[in-house]
Amino acid sequence: MIYASVTRILVTTGCCELEDARTTEVIDVSNPNVICNNLGPYPTKAWATSGGLVNVNQAVICGGWIASGGSSPPTDKCYDAVTGLEVAALLDERQYSASIVFNETTLLITGGSDEPMGGGPYFDSTEFVTPGRMSEYGPSLPLHTKGHCLVRVNESTIVMIGGELSETQTFFYTFDGSESDNGWTVGPTLLTSHAFHSCAVMTKSPKHSGPVVVISGGWDVNNRTEFLDLGTASPEWIQGNII
């Protein structure tokens, strides 16, 4: 799982039975030395997790499939990646979810599946997760999906990109900073299908007038990169380099 803040990238857990499936690292791209900060072993080997950095430096990781063999369902537990302590619980067991940091203390975790090995049906529900508090349901997604990606491009806009059952779709969500539901709108169509891909946002670029959403890779050997310049009057996805 890879999730990005403004200058830091959280990389945690992974498939399948490797010892690396218990590691969590933070990469600060503003650091010219680009040294990974390993936060120590995760409580259990896991993959298809979701989470982010809250309370400045607290890496909170939720859900995922516990790599213990067999066909067990995903977990609903959320752990502090440094202490290994359980700090919250999801309302639903889920894996292959996507998340963003909603505010300084809270994650928004979306979609996913509660079936063993990620089978369907998929969720359209979301949850606000705050360490030390009960989780609460958030606004529903525009469709049921997993393996999608979320980025927050400014204080009031989230972009949801791709995912299973929504491989070429983009949606925008606008909110006022609270947990109010102002609804989703349909965005431009991706050039190729993307699911289980990575995404990020460039807030500053000398070649663009506004924030630029970047997506790359994905399931089924997708080696395409695409860019969405939100500073243009009618944003459309454009092809980037092949990776």
**Which pLDDT belongs to residue 69?**
53
Residues whose CB falls within 8 Å of the CB of residue 125, separated by 6 or more in sequence, listed in order: 92, 110, 111, 137, 138, 140, 141
pLDDT of residue 47: 79
Burial class (CB in 10 A: 0-12, 13-18, 19+), 243: exposed
d(Cα 98, Cα 124) in Å, to the nearest integer?
11
**CA 2: distance to chain centroid?**
7
Per-residue confidence (pLDDT) for residue 1, from 0 to 100? 47
Output the pLDDT for position 172: 93
Please list, in sequence order, all residues whose beta carbon lies within 8 angstroms of the beta carbon of residue 135, skipping any fewer than 6 positions away: 88, 89, 90, 91, 127, 128, 129
Could you tell me the mean pLDDT of each successive run of 10 residues in the chain, 243 residues long?
A: 58 63 71 64 77 87 74 82 90 94 93 80 95 95 94 89 91 74 86 90 77 86 84 91 65
pLDDT of residue 4: 47
pTM score: 0.84
Q: What is the pLDDT, as a whole number, of residue 221?
A: 57
- Can you give the pLDDT at residue 17? 57
